[in-house]
Amino acid sequence: MSIIKWHIRKGTYYDSVVLMQLQRGLLELPGILDAGVVMATPANRALLAANNLLPEGITANPDDLLIVVKANDETCATNAIGQVDELLARRQSSTSPASSDFRPRSLSAAVKQLPEANWVLVSVPGRYAAGVAREALDLGKHVFLYSDNVPLEDEIALKKTAREKGLLVMGPDCGTAILNGIGLGFANRVRRGPIGVIGASGTGTQAVTVHIHNLGSGVSHAIGTGGRDLKSEVGAITAHQALDVLTRDDETKVIVLLSKPPSPDVATSLISAAQGAGKPVIVYFIGYPPPARKIGNLRYAISLSEAAELAIEELGREGIGASRIPKTPNSRFVRGLFSGGTLAYEIMVGLQASLSPLFSNSPITHSQTLETPLQSKAHTIIDLGDEFFMVGRLHPMIDNDLRIRRMKQEAADPEVGMILFDVVLGEGSHLNPAGEFAPLINEIQKTRNGELEFVAIVIGTDDDPQNLQSQITQLRDVGVLVFRTVTEAVEYVSLRLGNKKDQSFTPVRLDHLKQPFAAINVGLESFYESLISQGAQAVHVEWRPPAGGNEKLASLLEKMKSKKENE
């Protein structure tokens, strides 16, 4: 035997969906066989009647809420009616515990949700990764490409596209980056600070940034490149872009450049670019024989920890300072006229990466050999103490005559933009070399309208017989830029005349690095959670293989996308 019980609420309006929901709640209660919750309109009453749910003899108006339950027994029915209010109240929380923020399925929808995101983290399976990265670039976003197993040709194509657009592709197989204080992928929580890191190795970057932190300093940005970036085929596209953007970043005072052994040609081009950075660069090419410990603004480290230590050490060093670099460009040649053979040789070692072609009568490699020491060409460093010049003459440290004549010769060449020379003081040397060079330089500048640069390396102490200070002053008075070490001179000359980096690429926008970090994560959810826990803004894309993994449809979709470029 079942019983029917009802309840009427006068003048109570609920939307029909709320009522259907309440009805469903009542049906779930123990002992309830059927239930009807309706506004008591004639149509609804007819509906109840058709289902044997309309109690006889009730009076209700269309504005009344009518609740009817059919139950096993009186108790169940009474209990159910008694729970109406609770069910109405519980409705919101119970029906959809899963209510949460919308998780987009596509990158384009995610970008609409977080338009300020400049970065896209990609960690989907390798065969889909290039496609996602390409889409990110098309949307104008930088890419952190964690995925591995991305074909080399895809990497090259992605990076070329990125370079044209002024975007970075960090990776593939990029494990670590720290941008504006936010760690991407595998990254340690390190203090913000003045050291920028460019890393082709994820764990290498972690080790260096951690050591920097533990030594009390901090990191401005650590930009990953992916392990293959420094291969010849890729040509260090990302590393070059990273170097360029960190060069322009005022907060970055020192740059650390880390890689497993790069291809030699790539190493040369990167070192050349690093010499033009205008700030100290610590280079650690693991397993690559460093040409020196310190050349110009470069210092070569021999371990990860030393790279960090050198970076901190360089922070305290006053570089030659950008202020000393003249604003007007100098794109002509340097002629170096040295009395000291070793000084000439060290200048060659320092400049050969950044100046080409570079010649000498005392070359490091055969290809740098001048046809005749008497005639300079392009960039030339002459060792005037060489045997060739010494026949029947005094050493140029004692007798300036040969250098004075050669200086006139070089100055007469309109292709020459800078004359570099050493002044070695001390016992045995000429007693007033500056006194002979200064009037000559003054004379030369009259014919060259003062636009020829003179750079001198003065080697001497304040106890030397020539009076160091007076030598320097005499040279400075005629506009000579005076350095006290070869290293400083190398740094200056590299910056001033060095092969201009391949500036055919669009520069990466510095403000993208400086804006509060916001990113879209496609792939591993833990990367998203990590971003959120670091206080970054992020949107996670609920990514799935295109067309549910159906290769035929996916390739068709790809064709339909690229149709534009084909025609």
Partner 1 sequence: MNIDEANKIAVSRIMEARPILKGVAPAREVIPGMKDNLFLHAGPPIEWGRMSGPLRGAIIGAMLFEGIAKSEAEAVSMAERGEVEFDACHHHGAVGPMAGVISASMKVYIVENAEHGNKSFSNLNEGYGKVLRYGAYSEEVLKRLRWMNDVMGVVLADALAQSNGIDLRALIAEALHMGDEGHNRNKAGSLLFLKLLAPLIAKVVKDEAVEAEVLQFIGDNALSVLNPVMAACKAMADAAHGVEGSTIVTTMARNGTDFGIRVSGLGEKQWFTAPAEIPVGLFFPGFSQADANPDIGDSAITETAGIGGFAMATAPAIVTFVGGTPKDAMNATLEMYEITVAESKYFTIPALDFRGTPTGIDIRKVVELGITPRINTGIAHKNAGIGQVGAGLVRPPLKIFEDALLAFAEKYNL
Exactly one of 28, 30, 43, 189 binds partner 1 (CB under 8 A); that residue is 43
Near partner 1 by CB under 8 A, which window of 13-21, 120-128, 205-213, 429-437?
13-21
Q: Does residue 342 touch partner 1 according to CB under 8 A? A: no
State the CB neighbour count (10 A cutoff) for residue 183: 23
> Which secondary-structure segment (H or E) carries 73?
none
Q: Does residue 89 touch partner 1 according to CB under 8 A? A: no
Exactly one of 63, 73, 112, 394 binds partner 1 (CB under 8 A); that residue is 112
- Name which of residues 534 to 553 contact partner 1 (CB under 8 A): 544, 546-548, 550, 553
Exactly one of 2, 3, 7, 34 binds partner 1 (CB under 8 A); that residue is 34
Q: Does residue 557 touch partner 1 according to CB under 8 A? A: yes
Q: Does residue 2 touch partner 1 according to CB under 8 A? A: no
Rounded least distance, CB 113 to partner 1, Å: 8
What gap in Å lies between CA 548 and CA 151, rounded to an integer?
A: 22
Q: Does residue 380 touch partner 1 according to CB under 8 A? A: no
Q: Does residue 190 touch partner 1 according to CB under 8 A? A: no
Q: Does residue 61 touch partner 1 according to CB under 8 A? A: no
Near partner 1 by CB under 8 A, which window of 49-57, 317-325, 369-377, 417-425?
49-57
> Which secondary-structure segment (H or E) carries 144?
strand 142-145
Rounded least distance, CB 161 to partner 1, Å: 19
Exactly one of 12, 30, 102, 342 binds partner 1 (CB under 8 A); that residue is 102
Q: Does residue 80 touch partner 1 according to CB under 8 A? A: no
Q: Does residue 521 touch partner 1 according to CB under 8 A? A: no
Say if residues 490 and 298 touch (Cβ distance below 8 Å). no
Q: Does residue 531 touch partner 1 according to CB under 8 A? A: no
Near partner 1 by CB under 8 A, which window of 35-43, 142-150, 420-428, 491-499?
35-43
> Which secondary-structure segment (H or E) carries 457?
strand 453-459
How far the first Cα of the chain sits from its last, in Å, is 77
What gap in Å lies between CA 180 and CA 115, rounded to an integer?
A: 18
Q: What share of the chain is helix, strand, coil (3-state, %, to 5)?
A: 40, 20, 40
Exactly one of 104, 193, 202, 460 binds partner 1 (CB under 8 A); that residue is 104
**Cα-to-chain-centroid distance, residue 514:** 11
> DSSP strand E in 475-523: where?
481-483, 518-522
Residue entry with tokens 């919750």: 37
What gap in Å lies between CA 338 and CA 479, rounded to an integer?
A: 19
Q: Does residue 88 touch partner 1 according to CB under 8 A? A: no
Q: Does residue 556 touch partner 1 according to CB under 8 A? A: yes
> Which secondary-structure segment (H or E) carries 78?
helix 74-82
Structure token pair of residue 288: 């690559």
Upstream peptide bond of 439 is cis (omega within 30 degrees of 0): no
Exactly one of 75, 95, 232, 342 binds partner 1 (CB under 8 A); that residue is 95
Q: Which DSSP state fits 369?
A: B
Rounded least distance, CB 141 to partner 1, Å: 18
Q: Does residue 408 touch partner 1 according to CB under 8 A? A: no
Q: Does residue 56 touch partner 1 according to CB under 8 A? A: no
Task: Give the three-state DSSP class for 41.
Answer: coil
Count of residues touching partner 1 (by CB under 8 A): 50
Q: Does residue 53 touch partner 1 according to CB under 8 A? A: yes
Q: Tell me whether residue 451 is exposed, middle or buried, using C-beta atoms within 10 angstroms of its C-beta: 0 to 12, 13 to 18, 19 or more.
A: exposed
Q: Does residue 567 touch partner 1 according to CB under 8 A? A: yes
What gap in Å lies between CA 440 and CA 405, rounded to an integer?
A: 10
Rounded least distance, CB 489 to partner 1, Å: 57
Q: Does residue 369 touch partner 1 according to CB under 8 A? A: no
Exactly one of 38, 210, 311, 420 binds partner 1 (CB under 8 A); that residue is 38
Q: Does residue 393 touch partner 1 according to CB under 8 A? A: no
Near partner 1 by CB under 8 A, which window of 100-108, 158-166, 324-332, 383-391?
100-108
Burial letters 528-546, b for 16+ CB under 10 A, else e = bebbeeeebebbbbebeeb
What gap in Å lies between CA 163 and CA 423, rounded to an integer?
A: 45
Say if residues 255 and 277 touch (Cβ distance below 8 Å). yes
Q: Does residue 92 touch partner 1 according to CB under 8 A? A: yes
Q: Does residue 35 touch partner 1 according to CB under 8 A? A: yes
Q: Does residue 5 touch partner 1 according to CB under 8 A? A: no
Taking the CA atoms of the chain, what radius of gyration do you get in angstroms? 38
Rounded least distance, CB 139 to partner 1, Å: 14
With a CB cutoff of 8 Å and minimum separation 6, the contacts of 80 are: 5, 26, 29, 31, 32, 35, 69, 71
Task: Give the three-state DSSP class for 552.
Answer: helix
Q: Does residue 115 touch partner 1 according to CB under 8 A? A: no
Rounded least distance, CB 536 to partner 1, Å: 22
Torsion sign (Cα): 50, 55, 57, 59: negative
Q: Does residue 127 touch partner 1 according to CB under 8 A? A: no
Q: Does residue 189 touch partner 1 according to CB under 8 A? A: no
Q: Does residue 20 touch partner 1 according to CB under 8 A? A: yes
Q: What is the DSSP string of 317-332?
A: S--S-GGGS-SS---S
Q: Does residue 68 touch partner 1 according to CB under 8 A? A: yes
- Apex 241 CA angle, 235 and 247, nearest 5: 130
Q: Does residue 272 touch partner 1 according to CB under 8 A? A: no
Q: Residues interacting with partner 1, by CB under 8 A?
A: 15, 17-18, 20-21, 23-24, 34-38, 43, 46-48, 50-51, 53, 68, 91-92, 95-96, 98-102, 104-106, 109, 112-113, 544, 546-548, 550, 553-554, 556-557, 559-561, 563-564, 567
